[in-house]
Amino acid sequence: MTESDSWRPTAALEVLRLRAAMLSRARAFFAQRDVLEVETPVLSIAGTTDPNIQSLTTRVSGFPGTLYLHTSPEFPMKRLLAAGSGDIYQFARVFRDGETGRRHNPEFTLLEYYRLGMDHHALMDDVAELVGCLLGDEHGAIACRRMSYRDAFMQAVELDPMTADRALLLETLSRHGVPLPVDPLSAAQLTDLIMATLVSPGLGREQPCFVYDFPVDQAALARIRAGHPPVAERFELFFQGMELANGFHELCDQREQRRRFAQDNALRVQEGLPQVTADERMLQALDSGLPDCAGVAVGFDRMVMLAAGARQLSEVLAFAILRA
Amino acid sequence: MASYQTNEFRSGLKILLDGDPYTIVENEFVKPGKGQAFNRVRVRNLKNGRVVDKTFKSGESVEAADVVEMDMQYLYSDGEFWHFMDPSSYEQYAAEAAAVGDSLKWLKEEDVCMVTLWNNSPLLVTAPNFVELTITETDPGLRGDTAQGGVKPAKLETGAVVRVPLFLEQGEVIKVDTRNGEYVSRVKD
C-alpha cells in the first residue's frame, strides 16, 4: 500500500452495501416489535466510571468544564426509559480511547436497545432473533447455544471462576503457557486474562453462544441475584470466538448504582487513572423509577464482519482510524 | 529514555526487554467484554533470533531499543571483523562474526546489504534477498540440456555452494535467493 492510496476506503464498496442492507434489516426488526428509534447526545458532562473503559473528552465554548464523548448511550437511554419512553433502540457511534486492534477501532457503532419487562434470559431470546435476522439462513433463523460463565470456564480450562483463588488462576495460565505481564494482576484481572486468551477464543465456534450469570465483581450495570454463589444477571454473546454483545438485566436501585460508581472511581485511583464524574442525572432517573427492563449493546461493526467474512474491523469501516 | 505505550505497538517496533533488543512480530489487542485489556505480543530477540510470546497490560510502557536498520556497503573482511560503510555519511562500522552470521556466504565486496545497528554497533547483517554471483567451480555443462533434468553442486565466488541445473558452466553468473539458498536463474550479459 503506497501513501498515495491512503485516501481510499478501508472497506470494499460491496461490504458497505452489505452494511447498509443490514442497517435497514435491523431497523425493520425493531419496527416490527414497536421498539422506538432514538438519538441521544454524544457529549455529556458525565462519563463512564468503568476503570477498563477510557473516555475521550472535549470542550465546548460557553460551557464550563470538560465534556465526555460517550462510550455507550446507556445513561441517557435509561433517562428516557425512566421518563416513560417504552422500548427503545439506538444506533450510536461511540468512542473509546486506547482501543485499536484487529477487532477494535477507537470509534465504532453500538446497537443499544432496551426491552421492558424482560430479564436477561428473555432478552437473550430476543437477541437470538436479531442475530438470526442479521446473520441467519433464508428464514432469518440461527440456532444459538447458552452456557453459564462458570460452565464456559469449566469446559475450556476446568476451573471454577466463582471460587478460584489467585494461586489457582496463576496455575491455570501457566499450565496453558500464557505469559504474564510484568505488573502484578489482581484476581479479577487474571480472570479477564483467562477469559480473553483461553475461554472466549473457543466460544461459539459452530453457532452463536450466549454466556450468562457473571461473577459479581463483573456486574457492571447488571442486577445481582442472591444465591450460592450470588451472580450478576449479565450475558455476553460470542460467535466464532468474537464477543458480539453484552447485556444486563438492568440494575434499578439508585443507591446500589451510586455505590458501584464510587467503587469504580476508587479502583481508578488505585490504577492511577483519572476519576470520572458520575452521572447524577442518570442516578436521579433511577431514583424516580426505572421500569424493570433488560438492555443490550450489540457490536454492529463486528456483526458486519461476520456477515462479510472479514478478518479485521477495518474491512467493514469506510475509513478505519489510520485513514480517518 | 524513550519508551512506547502498548497502544503504539505495531509490527517492526524495536523494544528492550530484560536488557535485550527485540522486534515486535505480531501484536494483538484483546479485551474481554468490560474487563481488563491486554496486548498479546510475539517478539523476536534480535541477538539470537528466538521468537517468544509476551503479555502486556494495556497502558503499560516499555523501553524503546535504539535499533536502526540501514543499507550499507560491504567493504572487506580483515579476518576478525567485517567492515561496512554507510554510503550517505561514509561512516564505517565493524561487525563481528556473530552479527554477520550466515550472510557471510553471500557477501561480495561493494554489495549493499542491510545492517541492523543496536546502540550504534552492528547487531545483525542481512544479505539482500537476491544476489548475483559467479560460478567458480562446477562440473562441465551438459550441452542442450536446458529444459529439464538434474542438478549439480556449484561453488560461487563467495565460497557458497548451491545446486544448479546441469547446463551451467564455470564462469557464468547466476541469481540466488539468499533466504533459502536456492538458484533462481542464469544472468545473461
Do the chains contact at B57 and A220, CB–CB below 8 Å? no
**Nearest residue in B to A272, CA atom:** B59
Burial class of residue A110, CB neighbours in 10 A (0-12, 13-18, 19+): buried
A163-A294-A116 Cα angle (round to 5):
150
Taking only the tens place, the pLDDT of each residue in A112-161 is 999 999 999 999 999 999 999 999 878 888 999 999 999 999 999 999 99
Q: What is the pLDDT of residue A140?
A: 82
CA distance linking residue B102 with residue A152, whole number of Å: 48
Three-state DSSP state, B148: coil
- Smallest Cβ distance to A98: which of B7, B30, B40? B7
Average pLDDT over every residue of A163-171: 96
Using CA coordinates, name the residue in chain A closest to B29: A101
Q: Which residues of B touch A272 (CB under 8 A)?
A: none
Domains of chain A (ranges plus CATH)?
3-144+207-323 (3.30.930.10)
- Beta carbons within 10 angstroms of residue A175's beta carbon: 12
Q: Residues 4..33 of B with a Cβ closer than 8 Å to A: which?
A: 7, 27-33
CA–CA dist B105, A266 (Å, integer): 61
How far A33 CA sits from the closest chain B CA (Å)?
27
Taking CA atoms, B128 is separated from A67, B25, B92, B96, B114, in Å, by 54, 20, 19, 19, 7
C-alpha cell at position A141: 433463523
- Picking from A100, A179, A196, the nearest residue to B7 by CB comes out as A100
Query: Which of helix, strand or coil describes residue A2?
Result: coil
Give the pLDDT score at B189: 67
Cell numbers placing B75: 567493504
Instruction: Answer whether A96's CB lies under 8 Å from A54's CB.
Output: yes
Nearest to B72, CA basis, from B90, B86, B89, B93: B86
Structural contact between residues B131 and B155, judged by C-beta atoms closer than 8 angstroms: no
Q: Are the C-beta atoms of B63 and B1 separated by less than 8 Å? A: yes
Q: CA gyration radius for chain B?
A: 22
User: Which secondary-structure segment (H or E) carries B154?
Assistant: strand B151-156
Neighbours of B146 (CB within 10 A): 13
Give the H/E segment covering residue A121. helix A120-135
What is the rounded distance in angstroms from the CA atom of residue B9 to the CA atom of residue B57? 12
Asked whether the beta carbons of B182 and B129 are under 8 A apart, the reply is no
Kindly state the cell numbers that stand for A268.
481508578
> Do A78 and A269 form a contact (C-beta atoms < 8 A)?
no
Taking CB atoms and an 8 Å cutoff, what residues of chain A touch B34? 50, 52-53, 218, 220, 246
Are the C-beta atoms of A290 and A250 separated by less than 8 Å? yes
Could you check whether the bond before residue A208 is cis, i.e. omega within 30 degrees of 0? no
Q: Taking the complete model, does pTM exceed 0.95, yes or no?
A: no
Q: What's the pLDDT tens digit per position in B65-76?
A: 999 999 999 999
CB neighbours of residue B117 within 10 Å: 20
Residue A192: which of B35, B52, B53 has the nearest Cβ? B35
- Per residue in A183-232, pLDDT (tens digit) is 899 999 999 999 999 999 999 999 999 999 999 999 989 999 999 999 99
Give chain B's residues under pLDDT 70.
142-148, 189
- Residues A238/A202, Cβ–Cβ less than 8 Å: no
- Cα nearest neighbour of B42 on chain A: A179
10 Å Cβ neighbour count for A201? Answer: 15
Interface probe with B: pick from A182, A210, A235, most Cβ of B within 10 Å: A182
The closest CB to that of B37, out of A52, A220, A243, belongs to: A52
B32 contacts A196? CB cut-off 8 A: yes
Give the integer Cα–Cα distance in Å for A297 and A74: 9
Q: Answer yes or no: are the C-beta atoms of A308 and A302 closer than 8 Å.
A: no
pLDDT, position B66? 95
ipTM for the predicted complex comes to: 0.87
Q: How many CB pairs under 8 A join A and B?
A: 78
Strand order in the sheet with B82-85: B92-95, B82-85, B67-77, B112-118, B121-126
For residue A14, what is its C-alpha cell?
Answer: 460491496
Nearest-Cα distance to chain B for A189, in Å, is 6
Q: Look at B31 and A189 and tell me if their CB atoms are within 8 Å.
A: no
Beta carbons within 8 Å of A296's beta carbon, 6+ residues apart = A112, A113, A123, A127, A235, A245, A246, A247, A248
pLDDT at A308: 97
**Residue A95: partners with Cβ closer than 8 Å, 6 or more residues away:** A42, A55, A56, A69, A70, A71, A106, A107
C-alpha cell at B161: 555452494
What percentage of chain A carries pLDDT values higher than 70? 99
Smallest Cβ–Cβ distance between B34 and the set A183, A189, A246 belongs to A246
Contact status, residue B99 vs residue B61, Cβ threshold 8 Å:
no
Dist CA B163 CA B152 (whole Å): 5
Instruction: Give the model's pLDDT for residue B33.
Output: 72
Amino acid residing at A197? T
pLDDT, averaged across chain A = 95
- Ramachandran region, residue A289 (left: φ > 0; alpha: ψ -120 to 50; beta: rest): left
Q: What confidence tens digit (pLDDT) does each residue in A7-61 have?
A: 999 999 999 999 999 999 999 999 999 999 999 999 999 999 999 999 999 999 9
B185 Cβ under 8 Å from any chain A Cβ: no
Q: What was the pLDDT predicted at B48?
A: 86
A243 neighbourhood in chain B, CB within 8 Å:
32-33
A79's enclosing H/E stretch is helix A74-82
Question: Which residues of chain B make contact with A100, given a CB cutoff of 8 A?
Answer: 7, 29
Cell numbers at A189, concatenated = 484481572
- Please give the DSSP secondary-structure letter assigned to residue A53: -
How far apart are alpha carbons A136 and B122 in whole angstroms? Answer: 57
What angle is formed at CA A302 by the lines to CA A313 and CA B53, rounded to 5 degrees? 60
The Cα of A265 is separated from the nearest Cα of chain B by a number of Å equal to 15
* Chain B nearest C-alpha distance from A280 (Å): 22
